[in-house]
């Protein structure tokens, strides 16, 4: 593809629409300055860049760690038209060819059908597989930009992007590849459909033990590095409680759902208030903050800033996360780092932190949940689990220098083994 289709990167003083939309989600906590020239280059291929969500935040942290030593070019099919722009220390190239989101949902449905119907004829299977590939052609438009980068290393995000793997094989098949699989709780990277991605990877970087085990089963022998995350403690949250809740210890209930009288968060909160009448119960819902205290109910605007949520956690005797994130459950980790033991669903990624960090409990149903909260409201139990959970996060998920070293350690063997590496 002719490269003149792609405008030159705009300077930071002239942000694109994408940059303006992402101002509330900084590229990384690690880097902000543009890189110096003459350094080795990484092409980071990702279906999307910027915005909110665990997957995007974690990917930005990996890019930030690598940008300390490498020049980063982010190549993505997202956007409505081709454009290039600077985003902190990286150059972003949008193809403007993003496939409709419905295609990803259809892909997952078709894969489920293929798994559940092993007796399909060869013709039926071929027909389904042809439909599966629809949408992956969105990557084809990035062939020219990828060749122009001439990368020393490729970081490929999301194990489901078969089109990105085929693009790499076509344009620069000899360049080493680090896979950031972003394999959430329901992911099945061992599915044969994803094999082009797994086979291309020389190593993988993951954010939880569960994700590491998934990759180990999907491709035995692949070096998989648990790089953690650069979470940072904020001592100020212990000095400045949230003004709506105050400094009284509480049971905090977090949910991604809106609050309503017929919804689980509201029902649960009222049950907790009845069961523990002397205990304040705070609900951090999608649309509001609700405080139950001494039989009264107070509503306030929803929490929008991470610092305000950490204030709530720092003063909570326990944090009940009803809908933890499916990749690594960031806010459960933040609660542990703030000194608040967690209560999480048994079938969630957050259970790993409660169990491995000995910093919380997990539940199967409402009865279990009630018992878990009761246990953690006990002063002695709370103190022990709070200390254990905080130590776990500090060792595995906090500290920028340690995170950078783990990320660099995941790519160092790839580059050393590559005869084409120019580092």
Contact 385, 376 (CB under 8 A): yes
What is the pLDDT at residue 23?
Answer: 34
DSSP 8-state symbol, 261: T
- Report the alpha-carbon distance of residue 53 to residue 286 in Å, rounded: 14
Residue 309, phi then psi, degrees to nearest 5: -65, -40
Q: Specify burial of residue 236 (Cβ count, 10 A radius: 0-12, 13-18, 19+).
A: exposed
- Report the alpha-carbon distance of residue 101 to residue 313 in Å, rounded: 34
Alpha carbon separation from 341 to 76, 141, 279, 401 (Å, rounded): 39, 48, 16, 26
231 backbone φψ class: left, alpha, beta (φ>0; ψ -120 to 50): beta
**For 376-423, how does the pLDDT look when each residue is reduced to its tens digit (9 = 90+)?**
999 999 999 999 999 999 988 988 999 999 999 999 999 888 754 444
Residue 283, phi then psi, degrees to nearest 5: -110, 115
- Tokens at residue 74, please? 């982010």
Number of residues assigned to the chain: 423
Residue 154 CB: number of other CB atoms within 10 A?
27
Helix (H), strand (E) at residue 296: strand 296-301
Q: Which of 165, 159, 166, 162 is nearest to 206 (CA)?
A: 159
Q: Which of 102, 108, 99 is nearest to 47 (CA)?
A: 99
**423 residues of the chain, pLDDT tens digit each:** 444 445 455 444 444 433 333 333 445 656 555 545 578 999 999 999 988 899 999 999 999 999 999 999 999 999 989 999 999 999 999 999 988 777 777 787 778 777 777 677 777 767 777 777 777 888 999 999 999 999 999 999 999 999 999 999 999 999 999 999 999 998 999 988 899 999 999 999 999 999 999 999 999 999 999 999 999 888 888 888 888 888 888 999 998 888 876 677 777 877 887 888 888 999 999 999 999 988 888 999 999 999 999 999 999 999 999 999 999 999 999 999 999 999 999 999 999 999 999 999 999 988 888 899 999 999 999 999 999 999 999 988 988 999 999 999 999 999 888 754 444
Our CA dihedral for 278, 283, 284, 285, rounded to 10 degrees, sits at 180
What is the pLDDT at residue 346?
Answer: 95
Contact 72, 115 (CB under 8 A): no
* Residue with token string 């543009």: 34
**Cβ contacts of 373 within 8 Å, gap of 6 or more:** 251, 272, 276, 318, 320, 343
Contact 71, 39 (CB under 8 A): yes
Contact 194, 159 (CB under 8 A): yes
Cβ contacts of 364-370, under 8 Å, gap ≥ 24: 366/268, 366/271, 369/268, 369/320, 369/343, 370/271, 370/272, 370/275
**For 82-103, how does the pLDDT look when each residue is reduced to its tens digit (9 = 90+)?**
999 999 999 999 999 988 777 7
Domains annotated on the chain, with CATH: 3-99+135-230+399-416 (3.40.50.2000), 235-396 (3.40.50.2000)
């Amino acid at each position: 593809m002719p490269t003149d289709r792609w405008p030159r990167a705009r300077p930071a003083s002239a942000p694109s629409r994408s940059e303006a939309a992402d101002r509330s989600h900084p590229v990384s906590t690690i880097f902000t300055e543009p890189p110096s020239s003459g350094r080795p280059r990484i092409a980071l291929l990702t279906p999307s860049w910027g915005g909110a969500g665990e997957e995007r935040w974690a990917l930005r942290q990996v890019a930030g760690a690598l940008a300390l030593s490498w020049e980063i070019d982010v190549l993505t099919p997202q956007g409505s038209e081709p454009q290039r722009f600077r985003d902190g220390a990286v150059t972003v190239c949008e193809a403007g060819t993003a496939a409709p989101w419905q295609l990803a949902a259809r892909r997952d449905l078709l894969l489920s059908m293929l798994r559940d119907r092993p007796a399909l004829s060869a013709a039926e299977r071929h027909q389904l597989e042809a439909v599966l590939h629809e949408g992956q052609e969105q990557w084809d438009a990035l062939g020219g930009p990828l060749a122009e980068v001439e990368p020393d290393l490729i970081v490929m995000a999301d194990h489901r992007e078969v089109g990105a793997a085929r693009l790499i094989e076509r344009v620069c098949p000899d360049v080493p590849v680090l896979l950031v699989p972003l394999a959430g709780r329901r992911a099945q990277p061992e599915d044969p459909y994803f094999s082009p991605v797994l086979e291309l990877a020389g190593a993988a970087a993951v954010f939880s033990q569960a994700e590491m085990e998934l990759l180990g089963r999907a491709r035995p022998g692949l070096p998989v590095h648990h790089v953690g995350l650069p979470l940072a403690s904020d001592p100020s949250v212990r000095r400045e409680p949230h003004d709506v809740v105050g400094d009284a210890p509480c049971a905090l209930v977090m949910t991604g759902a809106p609050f309503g009288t017929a919804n689980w968060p509201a029902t649960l909160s009222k049950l907790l208030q009845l069961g523990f009448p002397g205990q304040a119960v705070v609900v951090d819902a999608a649309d509001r903050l609700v405080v139950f205290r001494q039989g009264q109910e107070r509503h306030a605007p929803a929490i929008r800033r991470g610092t305000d949520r950490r204030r709530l956690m720092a003063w909570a005797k326990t944090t009940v996360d009803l809908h933890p994130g499916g990749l690594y459950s960031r806010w459960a980790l933040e609660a542990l780092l703030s000194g608040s033991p967690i209560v999480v669903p048994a079938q969630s990624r957050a259970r790993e932190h409660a169990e491995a960090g000995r910093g919380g409990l997990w539940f199967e149903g409402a009865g279990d949940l009630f018992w878990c909260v009761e246990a953690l409201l006990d002063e002695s139990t709370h103190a022990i689990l709070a200390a254990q959970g905080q130590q776990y996060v500090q060792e595995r998920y906090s500290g920028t220098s340690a995170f950078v070293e783990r990320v660099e350690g995941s790519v160092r063997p790839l580059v050393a083994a590559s005869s084409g590496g120019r580092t």
